[in-house]
Structure formats: structure tokens, C-alpha cells
């Protein structure tokens, strides 16, 4: 089986300027701003069918370019900044807060064009370089807020850190599928919030333990382009509005037990580490419309060894208890094809 191939070619430039401003008092760290301009040029060409192809122009693109490659150029610019404030009420406590803005330039999708063409012409559409161009997506911006605490407790044997954050993404770049075509587009807005806690305690001179837990939640709007399954099941293109973003676990945690025993010119050491993440949704639609989740990681690793200032040797076992989890999953399907449900 032969099939025609596509040949996207991209290039561009980026210009960045930045500066720092140091302020007295609580503003213990330099405040930063950055001005950035990005320019990209993209060329998309579906190479000719070598002949007798069963899937000519039906893999990824759905169009052919006998008149030559489709070319476009876009540029974006933005100014980002960061402000941080620190306060030490005593020698063992640090309170901090920050406001940060971020920017990621837009780009081009490798496998779709604009203004597009009816699905019925998929695989047969002849693109015109005078009319069609590579599909582009816009930049994304974010404003994040963070407050936190760092301190030492129990006569310095415990270090504790805790922080809470909020962020507001505008035009978040994300991927969705339109049939066999992968498309990059912008989501209107994603608001997220979370809490992270980390503690490290020296139990004895030999043993120490570290533990951390995190919680995260989000809400997305203007995600109609990503809600094809929700719309198919309900007839409502807004079926996914207000849902949290997929693939992001709500809860995660870890724990690490460290040990070291001095011996000779070095020390024996050991490390028992546990990592866990909550199950994750794989689609923008939520239960009861879709009930597709992947089992989150639940892994324990063990390392033992001996080290000196000159050399070290260790043995390790990954996934000590042979737990099962998944890195990915396929979603979607059609009532006419139950094998993909």
C-alpha cells in the first residue's frame, strides 16, 4: 500500500528584550519585564501521488497541492512581566507572593488549511495557492498569582513549604481531531487553581522522609471546537462548557524515605520513593456523557547502594509492587462503528 505524503516546512525568527528593576523593602528580588516579537513562515505541500495509492491524499491532510506549496507568514508580539514580594517575619519563616504574566507565540498547523473545505471533498480537494493557506493559531497568554510559605520547624529538623496559585489562560493552545486530521486551535479561556504542600523531615541522623501533596482544579470556556463527542451525544455544541481540562489529575502525591549509614570511606544508602496520581479524564466531555478515564500512576521504586567521594554503585527496582497504570487512551468513536466506541 502506498500513500502520498505531506511536506511542511517552517522557519522564523524571535527577538527578545528584557530588563530588571530592583526595589527596596519587601521587594527583595529584582522585578522583571520582557518584550518579545516572533515571526514565522510556513509552507505546506502534499507531495504527488506516486501512482496506484490506496490512500492518496487521505492520510493526515485530505488535500493535494499540484499548483505548488501553500505559504503564509505571521508575526506576534507581547510584553510579559513578573513582580515578586518576600517578607521574613523571623529567621525561620518566609512569606512570599508573586504576579506573573506569560506569552507563547502562535504558529501553524501541519495538516490543515484555511479557509478549509467540505468534509465530502476530503482526499479529493485541490488546494489553490492563490486562495488557500496553512491554517494558523493565535498566541496564548497567561496571568498567574501565587502566595506561599517556607519555613523550618522542630529546631530546624523539618522544612515545610506550601503555596496556592491561580491562573487565567486566554486563548490556550490545544489539539483536537477532525476526522483523521490533527488540528491546533485556541481555547477561549481556562481558569485554574491549586495548592501544593511539601515537607522534609530528618527523623534521625540516618533516616529522613519527604512528603508532598497537590490539588488542582480548572474551568474552561469557549471549547466548542474540542467538544465533538459531547455535541454528538447531546446535540449541544456547548456540552463541554465549564468543564475542567482533560489529562490533568485532581490529586497527586509522593513520599520518599531516605537512609544513609556511614561505613569505611563512604556510606551505604537507600531510597524508597512512592509516586501517585489520581485517575484522569481523557476527553472534554464528562460523566455521564463519557466515562473514559485512565488509571493514574501508582509506583514505588527502591534504590540501594554504596558511595564515596570518588565512586558509587547502586541497584534499583522500578515499580516494586508491579502496579498497573496507563500513559494514554483513545477516545471518541461513532454509533455506526461500535468497535471505536
Question: Is residue 226 a contact partner of residue 174, using CB atoms and an 8 Å limit?
Answer: yes
CATH numeric code, 27-36+78-114+134-340 = 2.40.170.20
The mean per-residue pLDDT over the stretch 239-267 comes to 92
Q: Cell digits for 76?
A: 506576534
Taking only the tens place, the pLDDT of each residue in 293-334 is: 888 899 999 999 999 999 999 999 999 999 988 877 765 555
3-state helix, strand, coil in the chain (%, to 5): 5, 60, 35
The mean per-residue pLDDT over the stretch 2-11 comes to 48
Instruction: Kindly tell me if the per-residue pLDDT of 7 is higher than 70.
Output: no
Taking only the tens place, the pLDDT of each residue in 178-203 is: 666 778 888 888 999 999 999 999 99
Residues 6+ apart with CB under 8 A from 53: 1, 2, 3, 4
Q: pTM (2 decimals)?
A: 0.78
- Strand segments, DSSP code E, in 92-180 are 93-104, 107-114, 125-126, 133-137, 140-153, 158-178
Q: What percent of the chain has pLDDT over 70?
A: 81
Q: Which residue has the higher pLDDT, 85 or 57?
A: 85
CA-wise closest residue to 272 among 304, 308, 296, 315 = 304
| pLDDT in the model for residue 5 | 45
Instruction: Kindly tell me if the per-residue pLDDT of 237 is higher than 60.
Output: yes
Q: Domain ranges in the chain? A: 27-36+78-114+134-340
Taking only the tens place, the pLDDT of each residue in 97-121 is: 999 999 999 999 877 888 877 666 7
CA 260-266-268 angle, 5° bins:
35
Amino acid at each position: 500500500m502506498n500513500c502520498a505524503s505531506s511536506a511542511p516546512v517552517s522557519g522564523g525568527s524571535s527577538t527578545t528584550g528584557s530588563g530588571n528593576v530592583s526595589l527596596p523593602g519587601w521587594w527583595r528580588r529584582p522585578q522583571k519585564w520582557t518584550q518579545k516579537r516572533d515571526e514565522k513562515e510556513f509552507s505546506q505541500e502534499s507531495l504527488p501521488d506516486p501512482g496506484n495509492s490506496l490512500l492518496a491524499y487521505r492520510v493526515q491532510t485530505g488535500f493535494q497541492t499540484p499548483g505548488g506549496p501553500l505559504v503564509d507568514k505571521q508575526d506576534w508580539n507581547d510584553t510579559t512581566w513578573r513582580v515578586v514580594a518576600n517578607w521574613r517575619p523571623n529567621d525561620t519563616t518566609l512569606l512570599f507572593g508573586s504576579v506573573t504574566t506569560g506569552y507563547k507565540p502562535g504558529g501553524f498547523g501541519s495538516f490543515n488549511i484555511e479557509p478549509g473545505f467540505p468534509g465530502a471533498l476530503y482526499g479529493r480537494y485541490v488546494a489553490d495557492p492563490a486562495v488557500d493557506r496553512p491554517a494558523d493559531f493565535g498566541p496564548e497568554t497567561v496571568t498567574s498569582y501565587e502566595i506561599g510559605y517556607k519555613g523550618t520547624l522542630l529546631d530546624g529538623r523539618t522544612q515545610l513549604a506550601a503555596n496556592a496559585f491561580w491562573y487565567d489562560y486566554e486563548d490556550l493552545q490545544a489539539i483536537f481531531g477532525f476526522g483523521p486530521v490533527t488540528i491546533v486551535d485556541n481555547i477561549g479561556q481556562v481558569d485554574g487553581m491549586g495548592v501544593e504542600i511539601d515537607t522534609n523531615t530528618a527523623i534521625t541522623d540516618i533516616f529522613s522522609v519527604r512528603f508532598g501533596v497537590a490539588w488542582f482544579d480548572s474551568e474552561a470556556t469557549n471549547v466548542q471546537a474540542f467538544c465533538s463527542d459531547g455535541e454528538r451525544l447531546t446535540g449541544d455544541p456547548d456540552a463541554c462548557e465549564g468543564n475542567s481540562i482533560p489529562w490533568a489529575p485532581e490529586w497527586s502525591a509522593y513520599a520518599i524515605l531516605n537512609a544513609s549509614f556511614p561505613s569505611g570511606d563512604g556510606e551505604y544508602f537507600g531510597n524508597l520513593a512512592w509516586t501517585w496520581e489520581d485517575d484522569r479524564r481523557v476527553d472534554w466531555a464528562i460523566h455521564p456523557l463519557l466515562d473514559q478515564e485512565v488509571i493514574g500512576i501508582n509506583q514505588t521504586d527502591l534504590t540501594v547502594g554504596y558511595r564515596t567521594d570518588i565512586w558509587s554503585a547502586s541497584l534499583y527496582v522500578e515499580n516494586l509492587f508491579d502496579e498497573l497504570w496507563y500513559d494514554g487512551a483513545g477516545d471518541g468513536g461513532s454509533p455506526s462503528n461500535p468497535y471505536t466506541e
